Structure 1
Amino acid sequence: MALLLCNARIQLTDTLEQMQQGTLMRKVKSKSWKKQRFFKLQDDCMTIWYQSKRTGKTESAFSISDVETVREGHQSEVLQSLAEEFPPERCFTIVFYGRRGNLDLIAGSAEEAQCWVQGLRQLIEKADKNKDGRMNFKEVQRLLKMMNVDMNEDHALRLFQDADKSESGTLEGEEFVLFYKALTQREEVLSLFQEFSEDGKKLTLLELVDFLRQEQLEDEGTEEMAMELIDKYEPSETARARHVLSADGFLMYLCSPEGSIFNPQHRALWQDMNQPLCHYFISSSHNTYLIEDQLRGQSSIEGYIRALKRGCRCLEVDCWDGPNGEPMVYHGHTFTSKIPFREVVSTLGKYAFKASDYPVILSLENHCSMEQQEVLAQQLKDILGEQLLTTTIDGHVPSHLPSPEELKHKILLKGKKIGRLEDTLDGPGDEVPDVSDDDNGAEAEEERRRAKKDKETLAQALSDCVIYCKNVSFRGFQEARSHSRPSEISSLSEAKARKLIRDAGNEFVRHNAWQLTRIYPSGMRTDSSNYSPQEMWNAGCQIVALNFQTAGTEMDLCDGLFSQNGCCGYVLKPPFMRDEETLFNPSDPSSREGPGPITLTIQVISGQQLPKVANSKDGAIIDPLVRVEIHGVPADQAHQETKYIENNGFNPRWDETLQFQLHVPELALVRFVVEDYDKTSRNDFVGQFTLAFANIKPGYRHIHLLSKDGTSIPPSSLFVHIRITEPPGPEQD
């Protein structure tokens, strides 16, 4: 709240005034892409617009709250490459939170660069500090508009006058707190509080226990939990001492992690990490080095840093011969820029285990000559050292894949390998039958032929780095079952995977119970768009590679699935997908043994301080609606939405109930989307939150919304009531 107050009262310095007049600077994407853009700070001191000098068209805008930091000088790959052309004092980089690419800029002079660097830092700092000041009614109205509140002027004036205890015509300190409390009065929470409170003023310990049991369906240790909640969220010391919860404390609890729709216990590592790798869904990125599109986008180690920071555990690297014997990484036969393989490996070594301790798979697309393949192997070993897995964990041929727990802090290379894993091990190879034992020996002959061909095109040193993830062509489930090994992996295009799901869904699920499968986007997706990962997860595919740089529903689903289990990048598949004899077929929900469908009932009650639509020029108040989407097996795919509320992004009330049937709840993801209704064109995105059905807590819950690129946008939330109804069990005699 004080943050909002401070934003409304930013004192304009010369620097900010200069930024408001606007500055012509070069926006740089590569050595050859340097275009002039006119940058301008808007009157709200929170938004920066920039437009093309040539066309005068506004190209984009960003909010100060999107900016993580400002780096001076040549502190990005692009600006480093231009070091000889432009001095460091004219260069700076704006780094954003989330998925948005950095903005590299070159000012016309060192003074202009300084003005923007200092000004941006000042604004970021102001957005971080809680400074109080005085506000008159006009400033309060401006603040309300910034906060997406379209309030009747008389009503706002009445609240203002009630809060202005000193009758000075301005609000300060405590007065502003009073005004804000009156403004944010949550009637729906108050009436819920009064329902359980005998005197309407407080919840006793037992009344709170009743609420937790009856509504929140908390059944274990509820008295201890109630005590903890009072200690943690009750603002009044007296009430805390008496073990009671005031209406303020009750609201604070409901807005806290304990009152969230996401089960807080599932935020931590809560799954068994000792099963074979193929029993997990693994967070996976495609063309990780790209931070824009597939044809002329920029290749950058920033792509690897971002993916690894988000818990991604399978990264892709495309290697090609480079100058001076140095292999390079880029998207072949396109205009994308290039980065040395050495830099990618150093970045991997540095960031691999910052967000998660569990293994990282490096998917190598090798287009290099024999000489440069030797360099690849050498660089992997020299730079990664102990982190690179170069032998099986026990020195024996595996009869099944090791677990994430056994492979902690290890980097696994996925690529081609000469011959079989047992050929490179000293240990006994009797766990896997030799193909030459076959009746006619034709398979053995074929295997020898393939090994000979690989030997001609693959450097032995690089082959030796591939242990548990040997790339093999997929030649049908029958052949895989007869001849493949757990340490082999096939990569399939999205189209091929879809066909297999359609034609042989159950066989695909069984195959994925003992061997890894990687799915990658169609080559036609030159704009780096994504396919839906859900249909691939439905078949048990573990490595479903997405373009992490592209925001949208598909990445929301990916973020939603992997936001559980300590964000470690591994999520255990349901039991019926880990059984090699399973009957489950995603297109036939009745093939999953167990009770019938469960019913998910969601009452969408209200919204709180929803953000304005990005790039909305006139700063219009939104007309919000809520859409709930179920992503799961085909029979569960569904969506429903509420009506829209006119002109209220601050505290809209819907009070509408939506209901869904889930046949395979273990695979379902639930996505809540808020949109700004538009009768003439497509609705605009406002915020979203996605989570696996398994992580939902029933009862009265807040949903803390995320922006388009997956970053949080406090204090924006939805208030809902969730009920999950299991089907009745078999009748008792």
Structure 2
Amino acid sequence: YDSGECSYCPWTNHMQYPDVSLEIMKAGSVLRKAKSRMWRGHRHYKLQDDCKTIAYKSSWAMNSYSTFSVGDVEAVREGHESDVFLSVADEYPPERCFTLVFRGRRGNLDLVAESAEEAQAWIRGMQTLIENLQSMGESEKLDQWISDLFLKADRNKDGRISFKEVRRLLKLMNMDMNEDHASSLFRMADKSQTGFLGSEEFVHFYKMLTQRKEVVELFQEYSSDGQTLSHCDLEEFLREEQLEGDRSQEHALELIQRYEPSDTAKANHTMSIDGFLMYLTSADGSIFNSEDQRLYQDMTQPLKHYFISSSHNTYLLEDQLKGRSSVEGYIQALKRGCRCLEIDCWDGSSGEPVVYHGHTFTSKILFKDVINTVAKYAFKTSEYPVILSIENRCSVEQQKVMAQLLKDILGDMLLRTTIDGKVPSVLPSPEELKGKILVKGKKIGGLESLDADNPVSGEVSDEDDSSELRRDSLTTESLPSDSKQSLTKELSDLVIYCKNEHFNNFEHARIHGKPYDISSFSESKARKIIKEAAADFAQHNARQITRVYPSGLRTDSSNFCPQDMWNVGCQMVALNFQTAGLEMDLNDGLFSQNNRCGYVLKPEILRNSEQQFNPDKPQDRKDYCPLILTIQVISGQQLPKVNNKVGSIVDPFVRVEIYGLPADQATQETSYIENNGLNPCWNETLEFAVHTPELALIRFVVEDYDMATKNDFIGQYTVPFSCIQSGYRHIHLLSKDGTSLRPSSLFVNINITEAS
């Protein structure tokens, strides 16, 4: 390393640049793990020579090391950036503290180094390793995965594996292969004829094992010479199968340059089977149109015209009665593109407001810590406005503290006046509010009285989210639903475009409603209105913003299906982000488009308040044009195991679910394939009629069939119908909590036609 030369990693084809931080990590460090104010312990951590694994052991654990993968770490935070460090901030200087944030639902790891220099070495080193992994191409990621397989199989770590180890590996790879066939492939790969496979021989074995027959046949169908695709061959494929039309010629040449691994083939403007497979498994070959993943929508419409990614009781990481409150909830929600955060504020014993689920056993966190967290993370994922939905249960004294903290901590980010100094006739757009944080809450009077002489405090009806919650909850709040609560002018003045307003009825809202009024409904009340007056609800939501939140009966932090609310144009459908499952899959699917900015422009049918759109009768709209979606589910690749027992292998099947208007809700599934999670082939066709495609979401689910018990979840992927690409496409599966399961995927052929 001192020489400045680069080392080359044969598994990743990735240059590992010299970094003294990595050398310090390889030498190992004794770091203190901070778990709470009461519990702290020392552990020895060191980076393994593969630069992919961190080994650690407790001081009392002799030589027994545990490990975790660098790939499991999503980010590194410096200083006091966790609940634990905030609680012990007086004990450890921030320059010695750092937090490893893991993907999925695994808890964070808070560590304290002996010195600031050692902490910086681990911070810089981990950041370098994470960036290296993130910058890998698809081919490099696959090589990395093969490397991990080889290391798992090589149990005695001698750099080679026997056929016995290969058989064990096949079980780990989720495949029950005929032993004679496996033995034959093993002998073919054993070029050295030693009865063992070295690393390069194992790569050859793996490629024979996972040869994609369906891709080879497709390749040869369009290849003029059976060996390569000329740029004309590829152009024809793009035009005929991928339906790329006029841009197919120039795109063919771009794809060859981007994905063909052979320089000779590139020079000849041809693509090999390896390049063709790399294209099909890339972002260009994904079912999700990459053009729709960029910021492609008009962001200059009024706020009311957007679906806004919204969370409920954002501070909670677990259930609603005794779960932990944490600033981590806000960090994770913001990282997922959430733009409306909920903050329940109550008087704290030390004169500082606290955040927790009132009258429950949930833990408490300081309001100022929440606002500090929002200030730091608000615009890291999206530059568009963040809305703080304040549930205010504080005394007048602590409301003043809240208002001052908001102003002091958020500074210029906090929206404190209308953007042009005038009372709005229509809400501003996300574009006009970029980089701004808005307060949603109760307000004394309206914006019309901004320049008038107001009293220091006023009374407002306690008719907002919380009063609705009391009527829909097992728990009882201290205030009766018809009570009045004092509200300070300081806090009231910070509510600009998002004033909580009790909903009486649609006629009252149409006549008296202001553009900045927001009404909140429990899911049960919203469902009742949808059932009785869906068309009126859709018209209301074309004029004003509506927020819907989970029933108070959902004490386990479960979620309701947001699709019903989106169908009538409800903008803020608040979900418990900490709870994985179908509902969050739909939320992530809807907001995965438009650069994941947290704002999705509603379809025109839900933006026009003059248009009588009835979600129950889509055929009555003027431009009614139903579509037929045909999905050929061809094959699956490297599906993960769901049972860690060595002999357990999945029996996978695919279910396709359509979510949208009631007329579009549908589910179909393939048969199951016995004992094959490595490369199952279905070749089954599913067909759906979609009456309102602009509101539909398509969810692909892979499960492990079980005749006797409930099927086990393997992976899923949810995509807006409007973002689907036709043709031969790969679907890269996600885990239950939305993290990538690469290289696990489905291979499908998509065809969309007008219904006759």
TM-score by length of 1: 0.83
SS for the counterpart of 2:245 is: coil
Superimposed CA distance per residue, residues 625-660 of structure 1 (whole angstroms, 9 cap, x where no aligned partner): 100000111111111111110000000000000111
> Secondary structure at 1:220's aligned position in 2?
helix
Matched, 1:96 2:102: yes
Q: Is the 8 A contact 1:400 1:514 kept in 2?
A: no
RMSD after superposition? 4.0
Structure 2 counterpart of 1:417: 443
Amino acid at match of 2:622: E
Report the CA distance shift for 1:356/1:64 in structure 2 as closer, same or farther (over 3 A). Answer: closer
Aligned pairs for 1:347-386 (under 5 A) are 347-386=373-412
* Structure 1 residue 207, shift from structure 2 partner: 1.2
Are positions 1:241 and 2:247 aligned together?
no
Q: Whole-Å Cα distance in 2 between the matches of residues 383 and 408 of structure 1?
A: 18
Moved more, 557-566 or 73-82: 73-82
Q: Does 2:83 correspond to 1:77?
A: yes
Deviation of residue 620 (structure 1)? 1.1
User: Partner residue of 2:217?
Assistant: 191
Q: How far apart, CA to CA, are the structure 2 residues paired with 1:675 and 1:4? A: 31
Aligned to 1:550: 579
Aligned-pair CA distance for 1:63 = 8.0
SS class of match (1:610)? coil
Alpha-carbon distance in structure 1 between the residues aligned to 2:351 and 2:418: 31
Q: CA deviation at 1:177?
A: 2.4
Q: Does 1:389 align with 2:415?
A: yes
Partner of 1:322: 348
The answer for the alignment partner of 1:289 in structure 2 is 315
Question: Percent of aligned positions with the same letter in both sequences?
Answer: 64
Aligned: 1:685 with 2:710: no
The corresponding residue for 1:642 is: 670
Matched letter for residue 182 of structure 1: M
TM-superposed CA distance for 1:350, in Å, is 0.9
Answer whether contact 2:294 2:593 (CA < 8 A) is retained: yes
1:136 to 157, 161, 170: 161
- SS class of match (1:231): helix
Alignment partner, residue 49 of structure 2: none
State the shift of 1:555 in Å.
0.2
* Post-superposition offset of 1:31: 7.0
Matches of 1:72 and 1:480, distance apart in 2: 48
The worse-fitting range, judged by mean Cα deviation, of 236-245 and 582-591 is 582-591
1:220-266 deviation per Cα after TM superposition (whole angstroms, max 9, x unaligned):
32111000001111111111111111111111110110000000100
Match of residue 22 from structure 1: none
Matches for 1:509-528 after TM superposition, within 5 Å:
509-528=538-557
Matches within 5 A, 1:702-721: 702-721=730-749
What is the 5 A alignment of 1:83-162? 95-102=101-108, 134-137=159-162, 138-162=164-188
Q: Which amino acid aligns with 2:629?
A: L
Post-superposition offset of 1:67? 4.4
Is 1:418–1:455's contact at 8 Å kept on the other side of the alignment?
no
Q: CA deviation at 1:562?
A: 0.4
Residue of structure 1 aligned with 2:240, choices 214, 224, 233? 214
Question: Does the C-alpha gap of structure 1 residues 617 and 47 become closer, same or farther in structure 2, counting only changes over 3 Å?
Answer: farther
Match of 2:477 in 1: none
AA aligned to 1:150 is: D
Asked whether the equivalents of residues 33 and 109 of structure 2 are also in contact (C-alpha less than 8 Å), the reply is: no
The equivalent position to 2:600 in structure 1, one of 565, 571, 579, is: 571
Deviation of 1:158 (Å) = 1.2
3-state DSSP class of the match of 1:324? coil
Q: Unaligned 5+ residue runs, structure 2?
A: 1-8, 14-31, 41-51, 56-66, 113-118, 134-142, 151-157, 454-481
Q: Distance in 2 between matches of 1:668 and 1:366?
A: 36
> In structure 2, the residue corresponding to 1:627 is in which secondary structure?
strand
Q: CA deviation at 1:140?
A: 2.6
Q: Which residue of 1 aligns with 2:371?
A: 345
Cα pair distance change 1:105/1:523, threshold 3 Å = farther
The alpha-carbon deviation at position 322 of structure 1 amounts to 0.6
Residue 144 of structure 1 deviates from its aligned partner by 2.4
Query: Cα distance, 1:591 vs. partner?
Result: 3.0
Which amino acid in 1 is paired with 2:751?
R
The amino acid across from 1:460 in the alignment is K
Give the AA of the match of 2:569: G
The answer as to whether partners of 1:417 and 1:454 remain within 8 angstroms in 2 is: no
The aligned amino acid for 1:136 is I
Residue 621 (structure 1) shift: 1.1
CA distance, structure 1, for counterparts of residue 39 and residue 498 of structure 2: 39
CA distance in 2, matches of 1:183, 1:570: 44
* TM-superposition CA deviations, 1:493-538 (whole Å, max 9, x none): 0011001111111111111112100000000101100000000000
Matched with 1:201 is 227
Determine whether 1:477 maps to 2:470: no
State the alpha-carbon separation in 2 of the partners of residues 340 and 307 from structure 1: 18
Contact 2:160 2:199 (C-alpha < 8 Å) held by counterparts: no
Deviation at 1:84, TM superposition (A): 9.6
- Matched residues in 2 for 1:71 and 1:420: separation? 41
1:68-121 CA deviation, whole Å, 9 max, x = no partner? 478999874236647899999xx9976321344436799xxxxxxx9xx99xx9
SS at match of 1:217: coil
Structure 2 residue corresponding to 1:536, chosen from 565, 570, 586: 565
Aligned residues: 668
> Match for residue 611 of structure 2?
582
Which amino acid is 1:287 matched to?
A: N
Among 469, 472, 486, which residue is 2:515 paired with? 486
CA distance in 1, matches of 2:228, 2:92: 65
Give the distance between the partners of 1:230 and 1:456, measured in 2 at CA: 67
Cα contact 2:280–2:729 (8 A) shared by 1: yes
Aligned to 2:651: 623
The answer for unaligned runs of 5 or more in structure 1 is 6-24, 35-44, 49-60, 107-113, 428-452, 729-733
Q: Which residue of 1 aligns with 2:589?
A: 560
Instruction: Please report the TM-score for the alignment, with normalisation by the length of structure 2.
Output: 0.81
**Are the aligned partners of 1:397 and 1:425 in contact in 2 as well (CA < 8 Å)?**
no
Question: What is the aligned partner in structure 2 of residue 55 from structure 1?
Answer: none
Corresponding residue for 1:165? 191
Aligned to 2:729: 701
Return the alpha-carbon distance in structure 2 between the equivalents of residues 383 and 293 of structure 1.
29
**Distance of 1:94 and 1:683 partners within structure 2:** 34
Q: Give the Å deviation of 1:723.
A: 0.5
1:254 aligns with 280
Counterpart for residue 405 of structure 1: 431
Secondary structure of the residue aligned to 1:323 is coil
The Cα offsets for residues 587-630 of structure 1, whole Å up to 9 and x where unpaired, read as 222233323421100000000000111x5444611110100000
Matched, 1:225 2:251: yes
Cα separation, partners in 2 of 1:265 and 1:358, compared to 1, 3 Å: same
Shift in CA distance, 384/47, structure 1 to aligned 2, threshold 3 Å? closer
For 1:589 and 1:488, locate their aligned partners in 2 and report how far apart those are by CA, in whole Å.
29
Cα distance change, pair 386–668 in 1 and its aligned pair in 2 (3 A)? same
Would you say the 8 A contact 1:473–1:491 is kept in 2? yes
Tell me: CA distance 1:286–1:417, structure 2 relative to 1, closer, same or farther (3 Å): same
Match of 1:601 in 2: 630
Q: Which moved more, 1:658-667 or 1:145-154?
A: 145-154
Change in Cα spacing, 1:406 to 1:580, as seen in structure 2 (3 Å) is: same
Q: Does 1:673 align with 2:701?
A: yes
SS of alignment partner, residue 214 of structure 2: helix
| Aligned mates of 1:160, 1:327 — CA distance in 2 | 67
Q: Are the counterparts in 2 of residues 99 and 551 from structure 1 also a CA contact under 8 Å?
A: no
Q: Which segment is superposed worse, 305-314 or 93-102?
A: 93-102
**Alignment partner, residue 111 of structure 1:** none
In structure 2, how many angstroms separate the alpha carbons of the residues matched to 1:724 and 1:291? 41
Partner of 1:58: none
Hey, what's the Cα distance between the residues in 2 that align with 1:470 and 1:610? Answer: 48
CA distance in 2, matches of 1:700, 1:309: 31
- One-letter identity of the residue aligned with 1:175: E
CA contact (8 A) 1:297 1:337 kept: yes
Q: Is the 8 A contact 1:395 1:425 kept in 2?
A: no
Inter-partner Cα distance in structure 2 for 1:478 and 1:72 = 53
Give the whole-Å Cα distance in 2 for the aligned partners of 1:498 and 1:47. Answer: 49
- Quote the Cα distance in structure 2 between the aligned partners of 1:236 and 1:714: 24
Amino acid at match of 1:533: P
